[in-house]
Amino acid sequence: MELDESFLKDIGMKKGQIQILIHKRNELLHRQDNAQQAKNSSSRTPDRREAQTDAVTASNAPAPSTARGGSSGATGTTSGATGTTSGANTAPPTSGKMQRSKKSQLQSSGEVLELRNCRPFRSQDADFRYVKDTVLAPESGVNDLIIPCHEYKSFAIAAELNKDQLQSKFASEVIRFASACMNIRTNGTIHFGVMDRVEDKGWKHGQIVGIKVRQREDYVDALDLYIEKCFCDNLQETARKCIHPPVFVEVISKDSQEQRFVVEVDIEPTATLVKKSCFEVYLPKYNESSRRVTLTKEPALFQRVGAKSEPVQRNRLTAFIQAVPDRDAQRETAELSSTQAHTEIPQDLGRKLSILLNDGKSYMDDSLRYILVTNRCEQDNLNYINFLMHLNIFCVFDFDEHSSVSGLYSKYKEHHEASSYFLQDFFNEIKTDTRPSQKLFDQTS
């Protein structure tokens, strides 16, 4: 008996149910055909390999004449040379294969990755996420003092170390960066879990990889502990107000369920806090031999030089300190200009929709089933909802009473079969006290 549309109609199935059943049947048959083809091709492959192997063996075998009379010595020498040559020729293909594999990895690293925006400065948006193996804009230097400069640290090795090592390394990088930003009077963000300027050609500068975070408290406590140890007593309170607590931004990946984060610290040296101050700091370093954290012997002043945080050279210390009032004035001017020209940053609705629908991916995931809730769609909006036709929609709650004529439902019917249910139908059944006839749980469309 053939399973076709007419047969299914005869047994009382609805159009939507028939469409889904036949679609699934065809999918299953297609998978079976593909599996059979793969099996057939794999069964033929060994024969070809064996034939190739036999051919190579035959070509490398010594000539039969090597066992004969007076020319055997010369022939034997030739055969020996041939054997040696053959042996020499069999080794390179393996190394060549390894070289080709390595080269292909390098070529794959040349793939163009999708560019992403950084988390907005000082934002605490819990819904903001990064997507693994996308890239951020390159590290940046001083702009207008309000737009933050950015510095990246992969932190891949340090994140796996013990608590003391992790905290000292994290605090060292943050305090160096913070000192540089505060001395130049610029906002800044340092990111851990983003590839910096590395020699490893397998990574891109700014590529988001994320790090494992065992205990968030370790990162928070590290700043509390080392701000007290690394800044002068009279500047510790200022440093605490300029160095904001770590923000943990989740990194989502389509290839792994492992939870990773980019840990970010914002630095905001407002004019009223840092005025007339220079921020010399000690830096912590873990001593492997003594297994203790020590501080540098002398404090240092750091500054932003391009996209790096560099110590101020001794022969320039005097000039750098004398320029503090000028930098204070520049910061005050920048803050005033920013306040006057401040406009709310428009929300990236496209990114928000991508996160809500696709978990941040750039494609629709057909393994999910969606429940859509919508109100009235204006005619102009209907021109931009074609992407909904590709969603695997479980049901729609449509609060547009004219949807079947001029709304979403009218558009959807052009592409898919669907069953519709109206509140009026249920209201009439309740009013007449009749048994509900909709049978919603018996239908799949």
Same-domain pairing of 326 and 397: no
Is 59 within a domain?
no
Which two structure tokens, joined as six digits, stand for 269? 């040296």
Percent of the chain residues topping a pLDDT of 70: 73
Quote the pLDDT of residue 68: 40
Per the DSSP assignment, residues forming a β-bridge with 207 are 135
Helix (H) or strand (E) holding 139: none
Is 197 within a domain?
yes
- Residue where one domain finishes, among candidates 288, 318, 346: 346
Same-domain pairing of 274 and 131: yes
User: Phi/psi zone of residue 285: left (φ > 0), alpha (ψ -120 to 50 degrees), beta?
Assistant: beta
Poorest-confidence range of 135-144, 171-180, 391-400? Answer: 391-400
What pTM value is reported for the model? 0.58
Quote the pLDDT of residue 46: 46
Same-domain pairing of 308 and 376: no
* C-alpha closest to that of 207 among 111, 67, 82, 87: 111
Same-domain pairing of 292 and 412: no
Rounded to 10 degrees, the C-alpha dihedral 173/175/177/180 comes to -150
Same-domain pairing of 124 and 248: yes
Same-domain pairing of 273 and 395: no
Same-domain pairing of 361 and 243: no
Same-domain pairing of 336 and 210: yes
Quote the pLDDT of residue 44: 52
Q: Alpha helix locations (H) across 291-323?
A: 317-322
Same-domain pairing of 265 and 380: no
Under 8 Å CB-to-CB from 276, ≥6 apart: which residues? 324, 325, 328
- Residue where one domain finishes, among candidates 296, 329, 346: 346
pLDDT, tens digit, 9 for 90 and up, residues 16-73: 777 777 877 888 888 777 777 766 665 554 444 444 444 444 444 444 444 444 433 4
Confidence of residue 163 (pLDDT cuts 50, 70, 90): very high
Percent of the chain residues topping a pLDDT of 90: 46
Phi, psi of 368 (to 5 degrees): -100, 150
pLDDT, tens digit, 9 for 90 and up, residues 388-440: 877 888 889 988 888 888 888 888 888 888 888 877 776 666 666 555 555 55
Is 306 within a domain?
yes
Boundaries of domain holding 218: 115-346
Average pLDDT over the chain, rounded to an integer: 79
Which two structure tokens, joined as six digits, stand for 25? 């049947």
Same-domain pairing of 270 and 286: yes
Quote the pLDDT of residue 254: 80
Same-domain pairing of 324 and 416: no
Is 425 within a domain?
yes
Is 234 within a domain?
yes
Poorest-confidence range of 144-148, 326-330, 341-345? Answer: 341-345
Same-domain pairing of 175 and 292: yes
Confidence of residue 108 (pLDDT cuts 50, 70, 90): very low
Rounded to 10 degrees, the C-alpha dihedral 180/185/186/188 comes to 50
Higher-scoring residue by pLDDT: 382, 332: 332
Count of structural domains, the chain: 2
The letter for the amino acid at 91 is A
pLDDT, tens digit, 9 for 90 and up, residues 255-309: 888 999 999 999 999 999 999 999 999 999 999 999 999 999 999 999 999 999 9
